[in-house]
């Protein structure tokens, strides 16, 4: 029960005494995380390790990772890539070939 009481005291202090809202806290955390990520990316680029990190992530995705399709379903990278290639080929064929189909109906009398 002490934890709950301490939390309420702290929450009231933030809201009432310091006029800090939940949205303010979210904004502060987001800004802090953005700053840390920017600093880490700059450090990786400066040390020449950024490419290694990207290559490692891509390799993991190809080998065992799952990605999300347009409907946010998890699928393997291989399945996703096969679907993408198939759709691109289909679209190129449809765009570049003119299909002219004539249908003749014979009267059955």
What residues make up the domain containing 25?
1-48
Answer yes or no: is 82 within a domain.
no
Residue 84 lies inside a defined structural domain of this protein = no
Residue 1 has pLDDT above 60, yes or no: no
Contact 44, 50 (CB under 8 A): yes
94 located within any domain? no
d(CA 94, CA 88): 10
Nearest to 65 by CA among 54, 75, 55, 53: 75
The verdict on residue 12 lying in a domain is yes
pLDDT digits (tens, 9 = 90+) for 27-61: 999 999 999 999 998 998 888 888 888 888 888 77
The reply to whether 63 falls in a domain is no
**Residue 108 resides in a domain:** no
Distance, in Å, from the CA atom of 100 to the CA atom of 95, rounded to the nearest integer, reads 13
Residue 98 lies in a domain: no
Residue 60 located in a structural domain: no
* pLDDT for 69 beyond 70: no
Give the per-residue pLDDT at 72. 67
Provide the number of structural domains found in the chain. Answer: 1
For 80-100, what is each residue's pLDDT tens digit?
A: 788 888 988 888 888 887 766
């Amino acid at each position: 029960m002490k934890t709950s009481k301490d939390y309420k005291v702290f929450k009231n202090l933030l809201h009432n005494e310091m006029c800090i809202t939940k949205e303010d806290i979210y904004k502060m955390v987001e800004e802090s995380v953005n700053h840390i990520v920017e600093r880490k990316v700059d450090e990786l680029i400066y040390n020449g390790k950024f490419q290694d990190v990207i290559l490692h992530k891509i390799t993991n995705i190809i080998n065992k990772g799952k990605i999300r399709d347009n409907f946010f379903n998890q699928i393997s990278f291989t399945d996703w890539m096969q679907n993408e290639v198939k759709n691109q080929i289909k679209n190129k064929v449809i765009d570049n070939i003119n299909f002219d189909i004539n249908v003749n109906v014979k009267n059955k009398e």
